[in-house]
A = this chain, B = another copy of it.
């Protein structure tokens, strides 16, 4: 809904004033609307656009070189008065005649028509062009009686570009009508819009339905159908518009088209892009080539949820005008000089480099590593739910899932590497990269770094030795600290990693067999992890949890201890490593 306003009855006027203050390089406020902030050549045809407010960027967002010379801004969804139109037209006039163009709605036709009469009485050469692109609003054999929707963008841009090129008012008028007559639009709505200050939307579309052909002020649609997927919506819109497509060759139609995919208010750009994929596909199939299409908010209806598709079937002259430079608040084209295309190879990083086999000893160690990774995978499967629950208390609850995804991916990568004869080092680096890729998130990155650093320490030549394993653990812990930036006491997995690595190397230096040293390191890590829980319980995490005080250990420290214990219990540290 529309939530932000001061006095609802003054909303449209305040919005225009704010626009002129924010973008003084584009527009100046005058009575009734805005005119260009920049000078136009004497004798240039002035293109005046306008209508009710609530449709941004329509109408003031299109004022500037290459498009409109002035915009008449009525109240929300209400036609401006004739005196507003008269005032804006007078302020925008360059002595070359005035074109007033607007969507074909009764109120607009009357008020702009009246302004035109008044201006003519004063000697101006004035033409009016009523945009009528909405296929849902009238029969195919009388298109000029239809109402105007996002086709405004096309007609205004063509007229503005023609004026900019110095065409006469007769020529600009003919081109604008030609653009209008070759433009078709169709929209669907999923929910209504709310006027500033109103408690309820102007109208509703039943939940789970979409209304086809609904107008930009809530005028009734043609029919309702169940809400579709993005691709189904694209099909519906393409079918509706293409039913009136020009035939190739008709009056110069070349198979090229302006295509606009418009969000009416609360359908976001990402959603429109998803729809666009299918629109582009369908148009390609139909032999229609889009020329500088636009996907985004082009003609809104406050916060209406809806999408519209507009297609203009081009001839060469209209295409050139559509591509001409334009510089307005909402539509800009021709910035920066043209540049060559960048050549990008298709497979930047997809093909893995081939594996150089490791030494026999390192391959044997690699086999042990694979077993270790299988153990890790099984632990993450068995404890996914528990880790998820732990993480959900203070986080987003995806730690268990992330660990399982990561370990599963790592095991697969490790098997592939082992089959190719990888040494322990390369195998762990490949497994680490895949863990990170499969898991995503923070824990994915950290476990990726752990495996990678451990692998680099082992290398592909050295046989297993307690010293190599201890060095690998130490390097892995360093990598986590470097990457995550955490130190002991930050209540992260580092709180468990450091005592693990410290105990392991101290015991190994004392001559304790690796399997036993590992058990003692695990115990030290677990006790540190338990203290993170104690800490969280005492302090709470006020910035994240507000007032809650939770007796939960850090999920990353907890899962680390689980995995180290399982590795210790798995009898992997065969005598030859001691």
Contacts and interface: CB of A to CB of B under 8 A. Distances in A.
Interface of A: 2-6, 11-12, 14-19, 21-23, 25, 28, 30-32, 35-40, 53-54, 56-57, 61, 65-66, 74-75, 78-79, 81-83, 86-87, 90-91, 106-107, 109-111, 113-114, 117, 190, 196, 219-220, 227, 229-231, 233, 261, 265-277, 280, 292-295, 297, 300, 302-303, 305, 307, 325-327, 332-336, 339-345, 347-350, 433, 436-437, 440-442, 444-446, 448-449, 482-485, 543-544, 546
A99 to B, nearest CB: 18
A448 to B, nearest CB: 6
A273 B107 contact: no
B274 A38 contact: no
Contacts of A266: 265-266, 303
A31 B350 contact: yes
Top 8 nearest A-B pairs (CB, nearest first) are A18-B273, A110-B445, A38-B339, A4-B271, A87-B349, A18-B276, A332-B332, A15-B270
Count identical subunits in the complex.
Answer: 2
Nearest to A83: B437
A16 B274 CA distance: 8
B35 A231 contact: no
Contacts of A334: 335-336
A194 to B, nearest CB: 11
Given A3-B271, A18-B273, A109-B485, 17 more contacts: A6-B230, A15-B269, A17-B273, A18-B275, A18-B295, A19-B273, A21-B280, A30-B348, A65-B339, A74-B440, A78-B440, A82-B436, A111-B436, A114-B445, A220-B543, A268-B303, A334-B335
A335 B325 contact: yes
Contact of A56 (B32, B268, B325, B348): B268
A90 B347 CA distance: 11
Given A266-B303, A268-B56, A82 B448 contact: yes
15 contacts: A2-B268, A6-B229, A14-B230, A15-B269, A17-B273, A30-B348, A31-B348, A35-B342, A39-B339, A74-B440, A83-B437, A111-B436, A114-B436, A268-B303, A327-B336
Given A38-B339, A483-B117, A348 B90 contact: yes
A65 B32 CA distance: 38
